[in-house]
Amino acid sequence: MKKFIIPLILATTLFVPTASAYKIYGSGNLSCGVWLDNTETKGNINRELQSWITGFVSGAGFMGPAVKDTDIKFMIGWIDNYCQDSPFHTVGEAAAALMYELARGTQ
Protein backbone atom coordinates (compact mmCIF):
# COMPACT_ATOMS: atom_id res chain seq x y z
CA MET A 1 0.00 0.00 0.00
CA LYS A 2 2.87 2.39 0.81
CA LYS A 3 4.26 1.86 -2.69
CA PHE A 4 1.03 3.33 -4.09
CA ILE A 5 0.35 6.14 -1.58
CA ILE A 6 3.76 7.80 -1.52
CA PRO A 7 4.01 8.29 -5.33
CA LEU A 8 0.41 9.52 -5.36
CA ILE A 9 1.14 12.13 -2.69
CA LEU A 10 4.29 13.23 -4.49
CA ALA A 11 2.49 13.49 -7.83
CA THR A 12 -0.33 15.61 -6.45
CA THR A 13 1.93 17.93 -4.44
CA LEU A 14 4.27 18.49 -7.38
CA PHE A 15 1.43 19.58 -9.65
CA VAL A 16 -0.53 21.81 -7.29
CA PRO A 17 -0.74 25.23 -8.97
CA THR A 18 1.08 27.96 -7.11
CA ALA A 19 1.63 31.55 -8.10
CA SER A 20 5.35 31.44 -7.28
CA ALA A 21 6.15 28.19 -9.10
CA TYR A 22 6.34 29.78 -12.54
CA LYS A 23 5.85 33.05 -14.43
CA ILE A 24 2.62 33.62 -16.32
CA TYR A 25 3.00 35.62 -19.53
CA GLY A 26 0.48 37.34 -21.78
CA SER A 27 -3.27 37.13 -21.39
CA GLY A 28 -2.97 34.71 -18.50
CA ASN A 29 -2.27 37.72 -16.30
CA LEU A 30 -5.76 39.10 -16.91
CA SER A 31 -8.29 38.62 -14.15
CA CYS A 32 -11.16 36.20 -14.14
CA GLY A 33 -13.33 39.31 -14.05
CA VAL A 34 -12.03 40.22 -17.50
CA TRP A 35 -12.74 36.65 -18.63
CA LEU A 36 -16.33 36.92 -17.38
CA ASP A 37 -16.81 40.37 -18.93
CA ASN A 38 -15.73 39.08 -22.34
CA THR A 39 -18.19 36.44 -23.35
CA GLU A 40 -18.30 34.85 -26.78
CA THR A 41 -20.26 37.83 -28.12
CA LYS A 42 -17.49 40.32 -27.36
CA GLY A 43 -15.06 39.34 -30.11
CA ASN A 44 -11.28 39.58 -30.17
CA ILE A 45 -10.47 39.58 -26.45
CA ASN A 46 -12.56 36.44 -26.00
CA ARG A 47 -10.74 34.65 -28.83
CA GLU A 48 -7.42 35.81 -27.41
CA LEU A 49 -8.25 34.43 -23.96
CA GLN A 50 -9.51 31.15 -25.37
CA SER A 51 -6.36 30.80 -27.46
CA TRP A 52 -4.23 31.49 -24.40
CA ILE A 53 -6.09 28.78 -22.44
CA THR A 54 -5.71 26.18 -25.21
CA GLY A 55 -2.03 27.03 -25.56
CA PHE A 56 -1.49 26.75 -21.82
CA VAL A 57 -3.29 23.40 -21.62
CA SER A 58 -1.36 22.10 -24.65
CA GLY A 59 2.00 23.22 -23.29
CA ALA A 60 1.34 22.04 -19.75
CA GLY A 61 0.13 18.70 -21.07
CA PHE A 62 3.30 18.36 -23.11
CA MET A 63 5.57 19.16 -20.15
CA GLY A 64 3.57 17.70 -17.30
CA PRO A 65 1.83 14.53 -16.30
CA ALA A 66 -0.57 12.74 -18.60
CA VAL A 67 -3.94 14.46 -18.67
CA LYS A 68 -7.41 13.36 -19.61
CA ASP A 69 -8.47 14.30 -23.15
CA THR A 70 -10.71 17.35 -23.34
CA ASP A 71 -12.04 19.87 -25.83
CA ILE A 72 -12.39 23.65 -26.05
CA LYS A 73 -16.05 23.65 -24.98
CA PHE A 74 -15.22 21.80 -21.78
CA MET A 75 -12.24 24.09 -21.09
CA ILE A 76 -14.31 27.25 -21.58
CA GLY A 77 -17.12 25.96 -19.38
CA TRP A 78 -14.68 24.90 -16.69
CA ILE A 79 -12.93 28.28 -16.73
CA ASP A 80 -16.34 30.04 -16.66
CA ASN A 81 -17.27 28.14 -13.49
CA TYR A 82 -13.89 28.72 -11.88
CA CYS A 83 -13.98 32.43 -12.64
CA GLN A 84 -17.54 32.78 -11.32
CA ASP A 85 -16.28 31.42 -8.00
CA SER A 86 -12.95 33.33 -8.04
CA PRO A 87 -13.30 36.58 -10.05
CA PHE A 88 -10.14 38.10 -8.56
CA HIS A 89 -7.91 35.22 -9.61
CA THR A 90 -6.09 35.40 -12.93
CA VAL A 91 -6.92 33.47 -16.06
CA GLY A 92 -3.53 31.79 -15.59
CA GLU A 93 -4.51 30.57 -12.14
CA ALA A 94 -7.77 29.27 -13.60
CA ALA A 95 -5.85 27.45 -16.35
CA ALA A 96 -3.48 25.93 -13.78
CA ALA A 97 -6.45 24.71 -11.74
CA LEU A 98 -7.97 23.25 -14.91
CA MET A 99 -4.75 21.36 -15.63
CA TYR A 100 -4.73 20.03 -12.08
CA GLU A 101 -8.24 18.67 -12.63
CA LEU A 102 -7.31 17.18 -16.00
CA ALA A 103 -4.25 15.54 -14.44
CA ARG A 104 -6.49 13.98 -11.79
CA GLY A 105 -8.55 12.54 -14.63
CA THR A 106 -11.83 14.27 -13.79
CA GLN A 107 -14.04 15.74 -16.44
On whether residue 62 sits in a domain, the answer given is: yes
Residue 95 belongs to what domain range? 31-107
Q: Decide which of 9 and 55 is more confident.
A: 55
CA 106 – CA 102 distance, rounded (Å): 6
**Residue pLDDT, tens place only, 73-104:** 999 999 999 999 999 999 999 999 998 888 88
Structural domain count of the chain:
1
On whether residue 104 sits in a domain, the answer given is: yes
Answer whether 36's CB lies under 8 Å from 80's CB. yes
On whether residue 50 sits in a domain, the answer given is: yes
On whether residue 73 sits in a domain, the answer given is: yes
On whether residue 16 sits in a domain, the answer given is: no
On whether residue 55 sits in a domain, the answer given is: yes
